[in-house]
Chains A and B, each alone.
Chain A
Amino acid sequence: MASTNDPFQFQEFEEAGNLLEANKDAVTISIEDDFKPEKQRKAAGFAPDGEDEDPLAGDDKTELLSGQKKSVPFWTFEYYQKFFDIETHHVKERIIGSMVPWPGKNFIHVYLRRNPDLYGPFWICTTLVFAIAISGNISNFLVHLGKPNYKYTPEFRKVTIAATAIFSYAWFVPLALWGFLLWRNNKVMNLVSYSFMEIVCVYGYSLSIYIPAVFLWILPYEWLRWCSIVLALCLSGTVLVMTFWPAVRDDHPKVIVAIMSAIVVLNVLLAVGCKAYFFSKPEPALQVENSAITAAIKATAST
């Protein structure tokens, strides 16, 4: 209120509500944050009072704690429970995200969001083990169908071998990759670094494209098998390469090429190795040759 008095003299103002009633168009500012002037005071270097410190300290502490998870020792059950903190739709999104590489969408940043899980990798690997064993069994059966001297055997040893191969791929390759990235991080300052669980998660989910591919391999057509292998390799290889590209792109070009080719080559080895070991090729030419040779041997032996 303008007054003819000295402007520096203390004046009593009426309540804000009454003032507003007089002049409804007046612009009003309300300061909601009571801590702001106190924070500014603290920042300016004034020593805060005892009672001012406690709410601010509480604020800082709660801010720090909300960002970081409670650290539990690794021998308790709760430690592993935090890796299973996902819901059904999360798992579905992650599986689809690992099958469809979208340019610009880094699997770890978009889907994991600092919440890697162990559910997906473990059950995808288990499903893949049984899928390979069962499909291999069925395809062998179909290939040898109708041959009189074929005895159908469900080969359960192959489950163990498949399990060893797939689980060691899903655990030791991420371990090696994580160790390598850690070593490079010491030499070259990288902005992006992945934790071990995140790498395991990416590798586990990237195996999910092989499950439908393995079921396609039941049909004994070589061209179909090779087409599906190539397609699956391209998709999962692309996802892996795109995920690890930000972590190595600041590095020496030779190192980048070495890492990327190692990732791709190991993926190829796993796929082709599984196909070669568990799925036998239909070889009619060889069979005819064998029977011809045995007939010839019998003929020469009888004379």
Chain B
Amino acid sequence: MAAAEDASRPFAGLSDVSISEDIPVEGDISVPVGSTRRDDEFSTLDEPVKETILRDLRAVGNKFVHVLYPKRSTALLRDWDLWGPLLLCVTLALLLQGGAADSDDQGGPQFAEVFVIVWFGSIIITLNSKLLGGTISFFQSLCVLGYCIMPLTAAMAVCRIVLVGGSGKVSFAVRLAVVTVSFGWSTFASTAFLADSQPPNRKALVVYPVFLFYFVIGWMILTFSPSQ
């Protein structure tokens, strides 16, 4: 009878329960107004602009360092950004300007052509790796491919310096060596970052387009001939 009464009134047996004072009770029971975003915790409105810009620059620089010493890591994948690839692409396109500037000749690639090749090529390679079953996201892959252009951009800068000295056979040999080394470095770096996200029996199918992409960029760098 008593049990039936208790059952009919839920929580009836809890009326004499009290929380002792020495159990710490924590928590925030205030209802948040609007959606909380992670940026609110940083509150970038209050900090100086220099600090905001420097944080992004430090992130980009950190990724450059990871490309310089490539080992299997998720640094590029975890916080991807496209600032670095944009910076590298613009630098490369600018460095490829000013070559064989005769107006009637198709001297070198136009600025837009370099942009199209780099970005369109990266997008196609990303689509390819996703269609083959890769687990990497679209922008992560764009980020990795863009950052790994850095050795080739450095090679382009070196080539321009070498071409100032002359464009004979010796300079061609030097440029060939530099471009070959940087092309190998780029391919190696990007496969180090992308390798883990591919199914094992399709790795070669994913690596080959990356190889072709950097080969074409290396070819553009090698065949750059300055105006005379």
Say yes or no for B203: interface residue by CB 8 A criterion: yes
- Partner among A84, A89, A137, A156 whose Cβ is within 8 Å of the Cβ of B132: A84
- Chain A nearest CB from B135 CB (Å) reads 13
Decide: A88 and B109 in contact? CB cutoff 8 A. Answer: no
Residue of A nearest to B130 (CB): A77
Residues from chain A with a CB closer than 8 A to the CB of B220 are 154
Interface string of B199-228 (1 = CB under 8 A from A): 001111100110010011001100111001
- Chain A nearest CB from B80 CB (Å) reads 20
Decide: B109 and A156 in contact? CB cutoff 8 A. Answer: yes
Say yes or no for B105: interface residue by CB 8 A criterion: yes
Number of interface residues of A (CB under 8 A): 24
Residues from chain A with a CB closer than 8 A to the CB of B209 are 123
Decide: A123 and B208 in contact? CB cutoff 8 A. Answer: yes
Decide: B100 and A91 in contact? CB cutoff 8 A. Answer: no
A77 to B215, CA, bound (A): 29
- Chain A nearest CB from B184 CB (Å) reads 18
Decide: B113 and A156 in contact? CB cutoff 8 A. Answer: yes
Decide: B201 and A88 in contact? CB cutoff 8 A. Answer: yes
Residue of A nearest to B207 (CB): A88
Decide: B205 and A88 in contact? CB cutoff 8 A. Answer: yes
B interface SS class:
helix
- Chain B nearest CB from A137 CB (Å) reads 7
Residues from chain B with a CB closer than 8 A to the CB of A84 are 128, 131-133
A156 to B216, CA, bound (A): 11
A86 to B100, CA, bound (A): 45
Say yes or no for B56: interface residue by CB 8 A criterion: no
Say yes or no for B102: interface residue by CB 8 A criterion: yes
Decide: A153 and B107 in contact? CB cutoff 8 A. Answer: yes
Residue of B nearest to A119 (CB): B205
Q: Please classify how large the interface on chain B is, using the bins under 10, 10 to 19, 20 to 34, 35 or more.
A: 20 to 34
Decide: B201 and A153 in contact? CB cutoff 8 A. Answer: no
Interface centre among B131, B203, B204, B208, by most chain A C-beta atoms within 10 angstroms, is: B131
Say yes or no for B151: interface residue by CB 8 A criterion: no
Decide: B216 and A130 in contact? CB cutoff 8 A. Answer: yes
Say yes or no for B103: interface residue by CB 8 A criterion: no
Say yes or no for A6: interface residue by CB 8 A criterion: no
Say yes or no for B84: interface residue by CB 8 A criterion: no
- Chain B nearest CB from A244 CB (Å) reads 28
Say yes or no for B146: interface residue by CB 8 A criterion: no
Residue of A nearest to B132 (CB): A84
A101-126 contacts to B (CB < 8 Å): 119, 123, 126
Residue of A nearest to B228 (CB): A151
Interface string of A181-195 (1 = CB under 8 A from B): 000000000000000
A84 to B204, CA, bound (A): 14
Say yes or no for A221: interface residue by CB 8 A criterion: no
A81 to B130, CA, bound (A): 8
Given A151-B100, A157-B106, the answer on whether A88 and B203 have CB atoms closer than 8 Å is yes
Decide: B202 and A88 in contact? CB cutoff 8 A. Answer: yes
A119 to B206, CA, bound (A): 10
Residue of B nearest to A122 (CB): B128
Residues from chain A with a CB closer than 8 A to the CB of B108 are 154, 156
- Partner among B107, B133, B204 whose Cβ is within 8 Å of the Cβ of A81: B133
- Partner among A137, A151, A155, A157 whose Cβ is within 8 Å of the Cβ of B102: A151
Interface centre among A80, A81, A154, A155, by most chain B C-beta atoms within 10 angstroms, is: A154
- Chain B nearest CB from A141 CB (Å) reads 9
Residue of A nearest to B102 (CB): A151
Given A88-B201, A88-B202, A88-B204, the answer on whether A153 and B132 have CB atoms closer than 8 Å is no
B39-69 contacts to A (CB < 8 Å): none
Residues from chain B with a CB closer than 8 A to the CB of A157 are 106
Decide: A153 and B106 in contact? CB cutoff 8 A. Answer: yes
Residue of B nearest to A156 (CB): B109
Decide: A153 and B219 in contact? CB cutoff 8 A. Answer: no
Given A81-B133, A123-B209, the answer on whether A156 and B106 have CB atoms closer than 8 Å is yes
Residue of B nearest to A82 (CB): B131
Residues of A bordering B, CB below 8 Å: 77, 80-81, 83-84, 86-89, 91, 119, 123, 126-127, 130, 134, 137, 151-157
Which 5 A-B pairs rank lowest in CB-CB distance, beginning with the nearest?
A: A154-B223, A84-B131, A87-B201, A88-B204, A153-B105
Residues of B bordering A, CB below 8 Å: 100, 102, 105-109, 113, 128, 130-133, 201-205, 208-209, 212, 215-216, 219-220, 223-225, 228
14 contacts between A and B (CB under 8 A): A81-B133, A83-B131, A84-B128, A87-B202, A88-B202, A88-B203, A88-B204, A123-B208, A123-B212, A130-B212, A134-B219, A153-B106, A153-B225, A154-B107
